[in-house]
Amino acid sequence: MLGRDTLPSSSSLVDDDGSPRYPASSTIDRTSSSSATATGDIPRTASISHLSQEAAKVKIIREAIRAEDKRLRARYFFLREEWQDTIGTVIYLTAALSWAAISYSWYWGLIATPVTIVGNALAISLLHEMEHDLIHDLYFKRAKWVQNAMFAFIWVIKSNANPWWRRYYHLRHHQYAGQVVDVEERLIGLGLPWYSWKRILVTLTPAATLLIANDIAKDDPEFSKKVLVRYNAPVIAFSTVAMVLHLLYYLGVGEALVSVGIFPPAFYAFLLRVVLPFVVVYNGTVNLPNVLRQSCLVIISTYCHYYGDIPERDVFFQTQVLNHPVLWPFQLFCFNFGATHIIHHFVTRQPFYLRQLTAFKVTPILLEQGCRHNDLGNHFRANRWGKEMRAMVGNADKKSI
């Protein structure tokens, strides 16, 4: 048994075909007096089997996704599996070089700051998709050093969670989506009321995950706040300090501290000459684009997932099709995540670009089979499936509702 201060191996979370592996017993304490209750017309089964209560519909949906995937790969040679590494490399390099070109142009005054923020946010959103596909071993499965090199650059440019840490919790998300042990989604606010100050802060900065970590640790015996900090602090702490320093400079705090004798003038001059220029460039090319990108992703991701009152390990109730026009500006910076993420929950072994293509034929089938569609009240119910915000298992969640 691994301790709470050790990150477990992700290999135990997936089968050979990349689909989620469901353990023989649940990690959720079902003896608790606050166990999950049924909401609406969804019966809560005693079984912890991963078989859906809508098994026939799930079968139709999965067959439709795989059939369209197979059709597209057969029709377009470059979509075949043997080209997958090449396509991934082209997308990765295009995104990285676009980020570099935009940043270079901004540095030399060729484009305005708003253009840089939007352009780099779009480029980094592609890198985020690449990171997600790499987590699922969709590129360079037999060349881990390539995956690790890609992860390293993505970690710095995304200025967010450590990809190696995220790999474990993302694969675990597919096992326990919408449950109290769904660490990945809970860390971005899933299950919290829309007006919660924790949810607002975690939408704006990954540093705010620390505000939620204690709540998750109360519910998940495997989760460790120490591991969260140890794996993620190097980049997130740096980006947070850079943003704070920039803000303090614009507010004139440094000059005020010099005037009252707290900051030596020589030290402040050093900060202005050496530190501040780097901070400005870093924030302009990395931090601010990521605030835009990550905020949009968090809003859409939590909007399309359900939490707390859904059957455990039942893919039919985990997500919705979210393609309402009012959300298009947010979808732009997370590669149409809300409209297509449900497809990924049904079939995980599919690169993001192919998922976008299959969506044209698969989305109508999802709706025909009764999948939720544009449930804009999701946020206002704290992501509950039913009409009321009900607590799931665990003490922390009850305090949040």
Question: What pLDDT is recorded for position 113?
Answer: 97
Q: Above 50 in pLDDT, residue 47?
A: no
Structure tokens at 233: 């602090």
Task: Give residue 323's Cα distance to chain centre.
Answer: 18
CA 96/CA 124 separation, integer angstroms = 8
182 three-state secondary structure: coil
Digit-coded pLDDT (tens) for 286-302: 999 999 999 999 999 99
Question: What average pLDDT does the structure give for the chain?
Answer: 88
Query: pTM of the full predicted structure?
Result: 0.87
| Range list of β-strands (E), 71-148 | none
Whole-number Å distance between alpha carbons of 301 and 319: 9
Percentage of the chain exceeding pLDDT 70: 85
Residues linked to residue 395 through DSSP beta bridges, in sequence order = none
pLDDT tens digits for 293-351?
Answer: 999 999 999 999 999 999 999 999 999 999 999 999 999 999 999 999 999 999 999 99
Residues 6+ apart with CB under 8 A from 234: 162
